[in-house]
Amino acid sequence: MKPFHFDPFNSRLARDIRNNLSKSFLQALAVKDTSVFQRCGNVFLQQQLEPGYASYVTDRLAKYEEAYAIMEQRKCKEVLQQAPILWDLALYFEMHELLESEWKDAEGDRRKALQGLILVAGMKIHTENKNMKAAVSMAVKARENLLKYGAELSGYANLEDILAEIALTLASSQRPIQGK
C-alpha cells in the first residue's frame, strides 16, 4: 500500500483544504484573530476526513499558530517581514499567497523581485509534490529575478537562504536519474 501523500494538484479535496486553510490564515493575520483559521480547520476536521487529510489540517493549524505567535512576538507587520517566517515553517503555499497580494500592487523592479519570491515558493511546492520539471523551471526564473532585482527586497531576512535553496534544486536536477 502506498503511503498517503497530500496532493492538491491531483485531489480536489486536498486542493480545497489547502486553499481554504491558507485563505483563513491570511484573514487571521489581517484581523489579528487566530480563531479564523481554527474555525476553518475545525470545519474540515468535523467531516471525518481520512487520516492523511486530517493530519494535514492539524499540522497546518499548529504551524499557523506558531507563525502567528512569531509574527506577534517580532511585531512583523509587513509582508516582507512575515514571508521569511512562513518559509522557515515550510508554509510555502501560504507564503506564495501572502506575497501575491503585495505583488499585485507593486510596479517595476519591485514587482519582478516579488515575483522571484513567489516563484521560489512555487518551486518548493512543486518539489514537495515531486514535480521536478516544474520546480526547476520556477527555480531558473526565480534565480534570475532575485539576482537581478533582489536589492528591491530590503528588509527580507533570508534571501541568501532562498538563493541557496534554488541552487540545491538546480543542482539536484543535474543528477542522473537512477535506472536511466
Query: pTM surpassing 0.95?
Result: no
Sign of CA dihedral 78, 79, 84, 88: positive
**What pLDDT is recorded for position 106?**
95
User: CA-to-CA distance for 23 and 20, rounded, in angstroms?
Assistant: 5
pLDDT of residue 174: 76
**Looking at this protein, which amino acid is placed at residue 105?**
D
Return the pLDDT at 175: 53
- What's the pLDDT band for 180 if we cut at 50, 70, 90? very low
Distance of CA 112 to the CA centre of its chain: 18
CA–CA distances in Å: residue 111 to residues 88, 151, 163: 23, 12, 18
All cell numbers assigned to 19: 486553499
DSSP 127-173: HHTT-HHHHHHHHHHHHHHHHHHGGGGTT-TTHHHHHHHHHHHHHHH
Average pLDDT, whole number, for the chain?
A: 93
What the block records as the C-alpha cell of 22 is: 491558507
pLDDT at position 179, please?
36
pLDDT tens-place string over residues 29-88: 999 999 999 999 999 999 989 999 999 999 999 999 999 999 999 999 999 999 999 999
| Residue 64 DSSP symbol | H
pLDDT value of residue 156: 78
In the chain, the percentage of residues whose pLDDT exceeds 90 is 87
Neighbours of 53 (CB within 10 A): 19
**Residues contacting 4, CB < 8 A, separation 6+:** 50, 51, 52
Query: pLDDT tens digits, residue range 125-158?
Result: 999 999 999 999 999 999 999 999 999 998 777 8
Which is it for the CA torsion 40, 43, 47, 48, positive or negative?
positive
The CA distance from 31 to 38, in Å, is 14
- Domains parsed from the chain with CATH numbers: 1-75 (no CATH), 79-175 (1.10.3450.10)
Q: 3-state class of 20 per DSSP?
A: helix
